[in-house]
Amino acid sequence: MKILAPFQKKKNENISSEVFSASRRDFLKVGGLLTGGLVLGVSFFSCNEKGKKIVTIAPNVYLQIGSDGKVTIVAHRSEMGQGIRTSLPLIVADELGADWKNVRIVQAEGDEKKYGNQNTDGSFSIRQFYKPMREAGAIARLLLIRAAAQQWKVPAEECDTEKGQVIHRNSGKKLEFGDLVEAAKSLPVPAVSEIKLKDNSRFNMIGKETPIVDLHDIVSGKAVFGIDAVTDGMKIAVVKRCPVVGGAVKSFDDTKARAIPGVIKVIAIKGPGLPATLRKPLSGVAVIAENTWAAIKARDLLEVEWDLGPNAGYDSAKQIEELKQEVTKNGTVRRKRGNFLAAKAAAKKVIDHTYVAPYLAHATLEPPTALAVVKNGNCEVWACTQNPQGAREAVAEALGFQADKVRVNITLLGGAFGRKSKPDFIVEAALLAKESGLPVKVQWTREDDIHHDYFHALSVQRIVATIDNQNKLSGWDHHIAYPSISATEDNAVVQPSDGELGLGATDFPYDVPAINVETHDAKAHLRIGWLRSVRNIPQAFAVATMLDEVAEARGVDPVANALELLGEDRNITFNEELVKTTYPNYGEDIANYPWEIARMKEVIRRVAKESGWGKEMPKGSGLGFAVHRSFLTYVACVVEVQVDANNKITIPNVYYAVDCGLPVNVDRIRSQFEGGAQFSASLALKSMITVKNGQVEQNNFDGYQIIRMPESPGQIHVHIVESAAKPTGVGEPPVPPFTPALCNAIYKATGKRIYTLPIDINA
Amino acid sequence: MAKYSIQVNGKKHEVDVLEDMPLLWVLRDIIGLKGTKFGCGKALCGACTVHLNDDAIRSCSYPISAVGDAKITTIEGLSEDGDHPLQQAWEKFVVPQCGYCQTGQIMNAAALLKRNAHPSAQEIEQAMQGNLCRCGTYNRIKAAISEVAGIPNAASK
Ligand code: FES
Ligand code: FES
């Protein structure tokens, strides 16, 4: 099995749904569904171009209407703060005409056969399930309408649903959904071809603001996260892991650890060596105790002798210096248009800069934690996972079980950002539960989390931009070096993948006559993973800060510069200029989700208008601009900055303009952008992981800092462009343009250009 | 190991634990009150905030042996039905994203308003700076506290 990064997966846009009347056997196993009532299973399948069903992806989402009128919808995606447990069910409910007050959401467990791929990352839940969810709601609506129409002896076309009732328009007669359940059960389930989806103007919830369903539980402390899962007889494990990736336990002495009251067992966990993989636990020694404190104390008293392995001498600062040299050489060409060397030779001006960004840790506020019980050849897990099926397969593999012997229950996630797609911590719990014969919860401490993350990789990029005699940007030469995510699975990989480059480097959309993208070797020495928007972060930082310099060199306003360089409104493709590869487009066919210059330009114009771009700013203040398309969503950002005499940076305002297609839950789009700005402010101003002797130097939130309230951006204004295009994700797209917009604003305020993250204005 | 009798949300609990066990783990592991969260264990994030009498403390760094007969209040005991004015404001502004930090945020804000019912925007920021939110809900937290405090939204700088 393999855990795939979100941009490596092939998505299928042509997902359609089929609704069937679920048998008892089908749905009994879904926890939380009541028996009785009308139960519809929704199975999704994909079609080829001719509309022929080619592959049933089998996820069955259940929709139940009880005789009490209560509607239950199974949420099959993981909730980590993005609001998906609200947004997907509300699509069904709105199309159905249900009364939201009577809708209950039940979380599905991780089961590919039942729910299809549930991996919740890559900002694609809404994008993939918008249409099938609507179809499911529409089928259920038609079924209820037919049941009512039969009873009233009127044509079904004269009926509609609203707020949990079927209504006959001409007579005003009404019937509750609950009262139609019995009649509806005896009718055949309509096919997708029989339904007509609601006109957008008739939506009650889609495109509006719906509070998240877990709101009250969260504010009253009742919400159950991974850390809150309990089971009878549960013990707590805390693990001392090898401080260097690829190392292993040589021997250990647990005498002192065992002296702590409450300690039950000490068990070694075998590591994978190298490659570390995206799924296996690291080598370590676990203490299992009666409670968390005893386990933490005893773990800290373990004396372990390590074989640190080949990464023991690794120094991240040295690697950055080496990569800075690398990017001045010739690399491997990945995209080529025109003749850059000729453009450079004829240039009036050459701008040449190197951009450095550090390793980052996810630092989800809930550290990784998972509970496992292994009994009679079965394993049951409760975990805060973005990827329940990946977890299920990884656990099965580690235990030597068949996947169907493993059940993964998904709790709420106390933040994820990509970290909780990796099941290593869940496998730890399963292995320890099996070995000890006890129900075991593995608790990571913050130090564990900071030391042993799947890090966002450091990066070094060099961009050379040339300006010709006509004052045009004539050439763009982008050199890139960073350890690839793929190296975590295969040590031989030393260059970025096409997927990683397609996140803002090879899909450079500006119409420049000569474009060159080259990559350089960079070896991985840590576990490299993906963090909210992945390589878009460093790549957008380099590209959009360089474009600001290009604008300045040309004497053109940065917004006007971007609009001009994007060129005519058209859809662009990259394949003909890429070397032996096709542009991944976030796993979507570019025919279905084109790269639209017009939409890019529209968000630019909109953000300029909303931010008052061009206005006179007081001394020490500045506005900076950047635009970026990621995860098929177009985002322009203007950051306002104030820098005082002590070089203290304040961000009073952030302006976003976003085109994410048809907005589903407007409040959660806004909240993702508000949070995205704060998340970016952390990485732009505060966060950095460094490595010496193969070991991470930061331990907790003192060394690895994230933004705190007093320094956090003030008002975040989110302007959503009206759009009827297919909905696209909003979890990651707010992040990439923020940092370059901030750097460009700092330049306006202080005259200092930023080439290294996190920003050090005194450097 | 030692025996302690502590008062949590108006109820007495007898516990027999290690003397240095932080109050956080007594609450979560021994008493079973899970609304108080673990984020750092080093008084750096505020996820574990509870009230000791009227003061907000970081329970992860407060040993059980120091509690004595002080009254402990956790999120479960802040109000009857989760309807403290701050909890209501939190719902009105739909503050939470993942929600993990929010009980600590609310407990910290409640202690602030108890000692200063009408804090300024700056006082809110200062008082809340020990509470991290990785999801970035700071602006809505400010809006919710400002509303309860009856001051203009502290998010405008
Ligand atoms: S867990 Fe106590 S302050 Fe972070
Ligand atoms: S809401 Fe997720 S950490 Fe605050």
For residue A548, give the CATH number of its domain. 3.30.365.10
Judged by CB atoms closer than 8 Å, whether chains meet at A297 and B18 is answered as yes
Same domain, yes or no, for A429 and A485? Answer: no
Average pLDDT value over all residues in chain A: 91
B135 lines ligand 2 (CB under 6 A): yes
Query: Which residues on chain A are in Cβ contact (under 8 Å) with B95?
Result: 219
Q: Is the pLDDT of residue A110 over 50?
A: yes
Q: Which of B26, B27, B42 to mutate to test the pocket of ligand 1 (most atoms within 8 A of CB)?
A: B42
Closest among A563, A566, A639, A574 to A604, alpha carbons compared: A563
Same domain, yes or no, for A88 and A176? Answer: yes
Q: Residue A495: what pLDDT?
A: 96
Same domain, yes or no, for A389 and A255? Answer: yes
Summarize the confidence of residues B109-127 as an average pLDDT. Answer: 97
Interface pTM, i.e. ipTM: 0.98
Same domain, yes or no, for A583 and A492? Answer: yes
Tens of pLDDT, residue by residue over B90-113, are 999 999 999 999 999 999 999 999
**Would residue A585 count as lying in a domain?**
yes
Asked which of A194, A220, A246 is the last residue of a domain, the reply is A220
Q: Which of B37, B93, B95, B101 to mutate to test the pocket of ligand 2 (most atoms within 8 A of CB)?
A: B101
Q: Residue A56: what pLDDT?
A: 42
Summarize the confidence of residues B114-143 as an average pLDDT. Answer: 97
**Would residue A439 count as lying in a domain?**
yes
Number of domains present in the structure of chain A: 3
Peptide bond into A275 cis (omega under 30): yes
Q: Is the pLDDT of residue A80 over 90?
A: no
C-beta separation of A138 from A195 below 8 A: yes
**Would residue A759 count as lying in a domain?**
no
Is A200 exposed, middle or buried, given 0-12, 13-18 or 19+ CB atoms closer than 10 A? exposed
**Would residue A238 count as lying in a domain?**
yes
Same domain, yes or no, for A154 and A276? Answer: no
C-beta separation of A425 from A509 below 8 A: no
* Chain B: closest CA distance from residue A670 (Å): 11
Point out the residue among A211, A220, A716 whose CB comes nearest to the CB of B75. Answer: A220
Q: Does A256 touch chain B (CB under 8 A)?
A: no
Q: Does A300 touch chain B (CB under 8 A)?
A: no
- Domain ranges, residue A396: 226-307+368-443
pLDDT tier at A30 (50, 70, 90 boundaries)? very low
Q: Which domains does chain B possess? A: 2-78 (3.10.20.30), 85-149 (1.10.150.120)
Tens of pLDDT, residue by residue over A223-277, are 999 999 999 999 999 999 999 999 999 999 999 999 999 999 999 999 999 999 9
Asked which of A164, A196, A220 is the last residue of a domain, the reply is A220
Q: Give the DSSP per-residue string, A435-468.
A: HHSS-EEEE--HHHHHHS--BBPPEEEEEEEEE-
Same domain, yes or no, for A470 and A544? Answer: yes
Same domain, yes or no, for A25 and A50? Answer: yes
Chain B nearest-CA residue for A641: B157
* Chain A: closest CA distance from residue B64 (Å): 12
Judged by CB atoms closer than 8 Å, whether chains meet at B37 and A215 is answered as no
Chain B nearest-CA residue for A210: B94
Same domain, yes or no, for A205 and A158? Answer: yes
B96 lines ligand 2 (CB under 6 A): yes
Under DSSP, is residue A53 helix (H, G, I), strand (E, B) or coil?
Answer: strand
Token pair of A52 as six digits: 């022929």
Closest among A448, A422, A441 to A381, alpha carbons compared: A441
Judged by CB atoms closer than 8 Å, whether chains meet at A414 and B37 is answered as yes
Same domain, yes or no, for A639 and A695? Answer: yes
Tens of pLDDT, residue by residue over A479-529, are 999 999 999 999 999 999 999 999 999 999 999 999 999 999 999 999 999
Same domain, yes or no, for A686 and A745? Answer: yes
- Return the CA Rg of chain A: 27
Average pLDDT value over all residues in chain B: 96
Same domain, yes or no, for A57 and A121? Answer: yes
C-beta separation of A283 from A241 below 8 A: yes
Q: State the distance from the centre of ligand 1 to the C-alpha of B132, rounded, in angstroms.
A: 9
Same domain, yes or no, for A60 and A15? Answer: yes
**Would residue A93 count as lying in a domain?**
yes
Asked which of A443, A473, A501 is the last residue of a domain, the reply is A443
Q: Where are the alpha helices (DSSP H) in A265-379?
A: 292-301, 316-326, 340-345
**Would residue A50 count as lying in a domain?**
yes
**Would residue A211 count as lying in a domain?**
yes
Q: Residue A208: what pLDDT?
A: 84
**Would residue A275 count as lying in a domain?**
yes
